[in-house]
Structure 1
Amino acid sequence: MSRFLRPLTRAVTYTRWLHLLIGAAIPLMISFIYPGLSDPAFADWMLIALQPIPLVAAVALLPSIRRAEGLQARLMLFPGQHARVPGADEDPGVSVAPSASWRDRGRTAVWLVLRLEAGAAAAFCTVQLLGTMLALLGSVTEPGEDPGVLFPVPAASWTNALLAPLPLLALLALAVVAGRLMATAARRLLGPSPKERLAALEERTEQLLERNRIARELHDSIGHALTVAVVQAGAARAAADPEFTDRALGAIEETGRAALEDLERVLRVLREDGQSASRRPTLADAGQLLDSARASGAKVDVEVTGPLERVPGPVSREAYRMLQEALTNVLRHSGPVPVQVRLAVDAAALEIGVRNPLPTGEEATGRGGSGLRGIRERATLLGGRAATGPRDGEWQVHVQLPLG
């Protein structure tokens, strides 16, 4: 029983019924002009329901009508976020964009005609059922005059009081069923067009790609800072040299400050507060990255061929992160070992190579973790390729990125 009574306790049931009754306003106003409402026949009722159709179909050609109907449908046919009902927080699936094609205009016209006819039927049923209920109550003690309703009223009897609630219950049941049907029709006729769905899908894809990029940025930056801090702290403890300890603390401070700047920039992007994000590091800042690795005890030899300033901004920024992850991987898994870094720029591509001896007593699988996977993903997104793994007793990272 509660399953059938629950819809009657929800406000959306009555806002849906009100939405239906509003649709009867146009045929009601036109009926005052013709054919009038003084003792109308069945043919007059049919004319009242049909004659506004050309008018609403013409109004549907205006692009803004689809937006107005979509906003009204969202407001009155679906529970708001404040409503404590299941699914209230979900997108109702009704577009609020203006008509962008003739197909949108056609769907809007069908919706307006449906709303017109459903509203006229809802108003007619409301008047008839409420009139029947009042006629039954009035005939309890004495026979009344013709109430003007379609449903026959029994002769005067006290039992009519028991029948009086039935029309009201029928009206409430009709309100629940008709409201749900109109909500379903709104999703079909006012729902997003294929073009809008494609645009929403593209926007969602861009958001996911941006989140994925931010996750990689945080992994590379914070992971590098923590790795350097751990290596420096361990080396300082083992060395027991005040001078070396001072240098190690300085390197930890510098690396931590750079990581905090990256974190602040990423948080600005996530907040979307309109502030401009700080500049992302490029290969022009690779010197600080290499100095940080050297301060951790690694012996880094660098070979640069070609002008790094010719590398486009997006490629240079991603290349910096790849180099950062490669050096972080060296410090994390091999410790302070000799590292060979090669940066080569020609007319068509940028090549990055990082080599270091494999740690003794460990077997390299070549698969790597999320950092190496991130290097390969970055290279693929830029149209390049990356290879990571053991070769000739060394761990090698080789990346080739097109400059076009």
Structure 2
Amino acid sequence: MIDRASRIVDRAAPWALGVAVFLLSMAATAGSVGVRSALPVPVLTAVAACCGVAAAFARRRLWPLAAAGALSYAWLVMWPAAVAASYYAGTRLGRRGLWLYAGGAVALQALGGFVSYRSEGYRALVAGTVVNVLILGGAMVGLPLFAGLWVRARRQVFDAMREQSEQLLREQVLRAGQARDQERARIAREMHDVVAHRVSLMVLHAGALEVNAPDARTAEAAALIGGVGRQALTNLREVLGVLRSSDPVRGPQPTLADLDRLLDQSRALGIVVSRHDEGEARPLAPTAERTAYRVVQEALTNVHKHAGGAETEVRLRYRATELEVLVRNRPSTADGGLPGSGWGLVGLRERVELVGGRLEAGPRAQGGFQVLAGIPTA
């Protein structure tokens, strides 16, 4: 709103100046704020209109206004255009241009004073004496010229301050980015030193157990634990790559095509998991499929942790504009007994909402727990 009002004022200001110069010029020739002229009104109106138009376009071209001001003052003692030209000269001209303008203004004052001195009556008294010529020169040229110079200096100070603030902002953003990269690198080191080490030990122990297993069932369980651990190490390397690089090249991300393998891993751990698809299955955007996969993954992880391997149902509903993912488990008498961070569902909700979806999670009326996510597909 403020920018719009500023643009309107900026566009209207030149025309307002042109109207003011025209009206003051007419008042000057009428004798109200100047010397009354005996020329016909249409001639005076035309001269005043030329001065007003030149003032309206003075932002683009200064010299037409300066020429109109010089001519109107020497001929009719019409001063408004000369005042406006002096102000614009102070705001726009360089050192050489200012000297040229000042020399021209002195010559104009001398010419106007000589013409007024040779005239008769009131004009000779007002604009033909040396004292009045000096006073008029200071009022018409000196004051507006210095006002223009002050305005230009003020603008330059503001521009320098704005540039300095923008430079400080850029430096602040750069420092924040560097601090963020350093913190991400520190987190990556901590994860590598702690998590990767522990998971590697788990994989090694699982491999040793698989080799020395007393029976086939134990060997199969050890092989499954080792496979899950190796997959966790692969995913961890991908996460560490994301943390260490501001523009990482990510590895292959899971999609719905990998969902059956995820369910098989849960089945191998003793959970009865069933899958049901409703609607016409179709390829979806990678982001939607990846989000759906993560919803099922987090829900199954919570079943392992807290539901003691309760029977679980995974249902995918393909709708016109969204994919609905439902994961629910029956009540369990056993306790998973594994610690939870409390942030799994929070992070999952953020992931789903980031793609414009919705997530509902909570206990069921029939007992158990369910996670329901609606993921936009269009």
TM-score, normalized by the shorter chain, greater than 0.5: no
Structure in which a larger fraction of residues adopt helix: 2
TM-score range, shorter chain: 0.3 to 0.5
Structure whose CA Rg is larger: 2
Relative contact order (alpha carbons < 8 A, sep ≥ 6): 1 or 2 greater? 1
In the superposition, the TM-score normalised over structure 1's length comes to 0.42
In the superposition, the TM-score normalised over structure 2's length comes to 0.45
